[in-house]
Structure 1
Amino acid sequence: MRMMKMTAIAAACAATWAAAPSGASAADEVKTLRIGTWLPAHHLIVAGIIKPWADAIEAETDGALKFEIMTSPLGPPPAQFDLLLDQAFDVGYGVSGHNVGRFTMTQVMDLPFASPDPWSGSAAAWQTYERFGDQYGEHEGAHIVGLFTHSNPNINMAKGRIETIADLEGKTIRVGGGVTGRIMSQLGATPVQLPPTEAQTAMARGVADGITFPTESIDFFGITPVITSITRIPGGLYTDTFWVAFNQASWDGLSPEQQAAVEKHSGMAIALLAGWAWTNGDRIGEAALNEAGVEFITLPEEEVAIAKERLADMETEWLAEAEKRGLDGQEILDYARRMVKDYSAYKVVNTPN
């Protein structure tokens, strides 16, 4: 009788195993990976890009591959790539420009006026990296699964109005990093580098006259109350290239089926998520700014031409760095520009000619 009971139990277990989803047939086959983060859970990068990406992969694998987004940062933003390499977490994301000189080739979209919108900028960043990234050798120890850019930054002023490039003379502008600081300096302003959480106080106290930021970020960091005017720069004055990556050992620890599931929802899928996230974030931010009565100004075409001329040497230097590394920088740049054109969010359709 005891033998018959054991046989029945074994048969039931076998039936349960067979009926389980192919990707999660047993508890010990479920793999959970930790995602390092340095932003709050409600920030659009986490809520609009990283979490939907992770959820899509979990669904694709029927729960065999799960992700745990950490609730607190293990280090500041510039430390994220090294934390990933040190296996402090399995998956991470970060801003390439936070590590100056480390990801220069990957940052082709960071050049002035390279990224006119987050859709084409993100798509071009990924497509260009997918084609040329193996030649860069900039991410050893990690497996890059996505790149994306933020939306167009504006010049957001607490004091004064920017209608021409000359209006930047004598203005102190808060910037987030060295590249943006150089851009502001070459356009005539005095850059001051401050964390975004200190920007409102700095402008309220007169330490800074304005800040370079996408519309979304002005609202998110609570800077709206001190802003009086915003100058849009057609074509995108600059952008930051973000990376999403696995530690190489964590990636190698995935089964081929799990790797395929990740790849299916990465690359251009991440670029698509970024386009939606930044567009929607900007829409919310602009609504708050309009409600506050902030004036929006668009820099005239002739002034944009002046800005491009003053910043042209940054492209020249990037090309020189590519040559120094034995890369055909012009080919990379031309390809990136073609991808921007192909994936532009501002194409005119449904009209003759």
Structure 2
Amino acid sequence: MKMRYAFTLPVSILLAILFFASTIGAETASDHPSSEEGITINFSTWHPSESMEVQTVWIPMLDALKVGSGGRITYALFDGEVLGSGPEHYEIVANGRSDMGYATLTWTPGRFPLSDVLSLPASIECKETSTDIGNAVYDRALREEFSDVKVIELNPCINSHLWTKEPVSTLEDVRGLRIRSPGGLQTRCIEAIGAEPVFMPLDSVRGAMENGTIGGIVTCPSMVQSFGLGDVADHCTLVTFGCVGEGLFMNLEAWDKTPEDLLPIIEEVCQNPYRTTGGMTKETYDEIIADLNESGVVFVSLQPEEEGRWHAAFQNMTREWVADLEVRGLPARETVEIFNEECEKRDVVCVAFPPEWR
């Protein structure tokens, strides 16, 4: 069944965009004359066409650009891996196959070593907060890893969980289990609990679960819903796994060719697209979990003592990852401390942060 999502741009945001756009020329006319030239943004994402991300975030965000620019920004949307597989999407933007696009950094292991910090287990419950954290960490610690694109926003997604065929309530239940990893520090987390990580794109997970290649998945609730995985992974252990590092990027040539007076509109609308659109909120995720529960997925919360064992394993993983990167001369501990600081500012708990580092 196809999912449809109704969306209305919030009036307060719409008015703010229009006001912002109307003042740009007046404030900067003497230095940067506005051009009446328009642009078409070719936008790419691996999210499926009918997903919540496309329907409640990307289309409304692109529509907000059109409104805020008085129609001078239009767009063409290439979703559902039309331009390439999920792991290709950063290169799709960097190489100019699209002008702007969404990419998951942890799907290209080793390319963004410090940015893996965004995949640390943290109890993030909505994308708006996630993006505020990611943007702050980018500003403070990650800029040097993105010289080949214009970074519009970065985010550590939202809290992922463990989805399995059989119920899991202790560390012993996952010993030796082959679990799909989205990459990044989730791979190390899976190893830390004694399981075997298997990296694969989401569109390969159903077949792998059905034929027994893997017995579990680490991902967030929206991806279980979007890819229809609730019937092959119908037990969810609500442990804080964190998620992936991802973000919205613009091709450098496309950015440089954009009329000067449109650049602030793009940044204003897109630097936190979830705030702009009101999409992917905590309420959204609560509804997804309720829908999955109603469809037959069984959710299990760990007992406090058992949860502490998982968190201790994640904290040891952080220590080892930091040690590995610092041998290479990378400021990994400082980056982890920055990530934790930005989480704490927003009442988010990074369960993988070693307590002795506070």
Q: Check whether TM > 0.5.
A: yes
1:280 to 1:46, Cα distance in 2 relative to 1, 3 A: farther
The aligned counterpart of 1:47 is 55
Shift of 1:323: 4.2
Equivalent in the alignment of 2:269: 265
5 Å-filtered alignment, 1:164-313, equals 164-177=170-183, 179-233=185-239, 236-267=240-271, 269-270=272-273, 272=275, 276-277=279-280, 279-313=282-316
Q: CA 1:317–1:257 in 2, change beyond 3 Å: closer, same or farther? A: farther
In the alignment, the residues of structure 2 paired with residue 193 and residue 278 of structure 1 have an alpha-carbon distance, to the nearest angstrom, of: 28
Match of 1:6 in 2: none
CA shift, 1:253, in A, is: 1.2
Unaligned runs of 5+ in 1: 1-20, 347-353
TM-score by length of 2: 0.78
Shift of 1:180: 2.8
Provide, for residues 30-59 of structure 1, a one-character-per-residue CA deviation record: whole Å limited to 9, x for no partner: 211211232322223322332222222221
Q: 1:68 to 1:109 in 2, by over 3 A?
A: same
- Alpha-carbon shift at residue 115 of structure 1 (Å): 4.6
Q: Does 1:156 align with 2:160?
A: no
Contact 1:44–1:278 (CA under 8 A) maintained in structure 2: no
Instruction: Say if 1:148 and 1:274, in contact at 8 Å, map to a contact too.
Output: no
Is the CA contact 1:36–1:69 (under 8 Å) kept in the aligned structure 2?
yes
The residue correspondences of 1:102-113 to structure 2 (distance < 5 A) are: 102-111=111-120, 113=121
- Evaluate the alpha carbon distance shift between residue 191 and residue 185 of structure 1 in structure 2; reply closer, same or farther with a 3 A threshold: same
Show the counterpart of 1:101. 110
Contact between 2:86 and 2:201, CA under 8 Å: does it hold in 1? Answer: no
Specify the alignment match of 2:142 in structure 1: 133
Counterpart-to-counterpart distance in 1, 2:326 and 2:197: 30
CA deviation string 1:160-186 (max 9, x = no partner): x21111211243323333643332222
Write the distance in 2 (CA, Å) between the matches of 1:275 and 1:306.
36
Q: Deviation digits for residues 165-208 of structure 1, max 9, x if unmatched? A: 12112433233336433322221223334443343343344333
Alignment correspondent of 2:97: 88
Structure 2 Cα separation of the partners of residues 309 and 22 of structure 1: 52
CA distance in 2, matches of 1:326, 1:208: 36
- The letter for the 2-side match of 1:237 is F
Alpha-carbon distance in structure 1 between the residues aligned to 2:139 and 2:316: 26
CA distance in 2, matches of 1:335, 1:177: 21
Residues 187 and 307 of structure 1 are in contact (CA less than 8 Å); yes or no, is this contact kept in structure 2? Answer: yes
For 1:3, the equivalent position in structure 2 comes to: none
Larger radius of gyration: 1
Whole-angstrom distance in 1 between the partners of 2:278 and 2:325: 28
Question: Where in structure 2 are there 5+ consecutive unaligned residues?
Answer: 1-21, 25-33, 350-358
Given that residues 218 and 241 in structure 2 are in contact (C-alpha distance below 8 angstroms), is that contact kept between their aligned partners in structure 1? no
2:318 corresponds, among 309, 315, 318, to 315
Q: 2:339 aligns with which of 336, 339, 350?
A: 336
Following superposition, the deviation at residue 97 of structure 1 comes to 0.5
Judged with a 3 Å threshold, the aligned counterparts in structure 2 of structure 1 residues 182 and 106 are, in CA distance, closer, same or farther, namely: closer
Q: Is the 8 A contact 2:235 2:298 kept in 1?
A: yes
TM-score by length of 1: 0.79
Task: Indicate conservation of the 8 Å contact 2:102/2:249, yes or no.
Answer: yes
Q: 2:231, 2:297 within 8 Å by CA — same for their partners in 1?
A: no
Deviations 1:66-115 (A, max 9, x none): 2221255222222222222221111121001011111122232212x235
8 Å contact from structure 1 (residues 151, 279) kept in 2:
no
Q: Would the aligned equivalents of 1:176 and 1:195 in 2 still touch at CA under 8 Å?
A: yes
State the identity as a percent.
Answer: 23
Q: Secondary structure at the residue paired with 2:97?
A: coil
What CA distance in whole angstroms lies between the structure 1 residues aligned with 2:268 and 2:293? 39
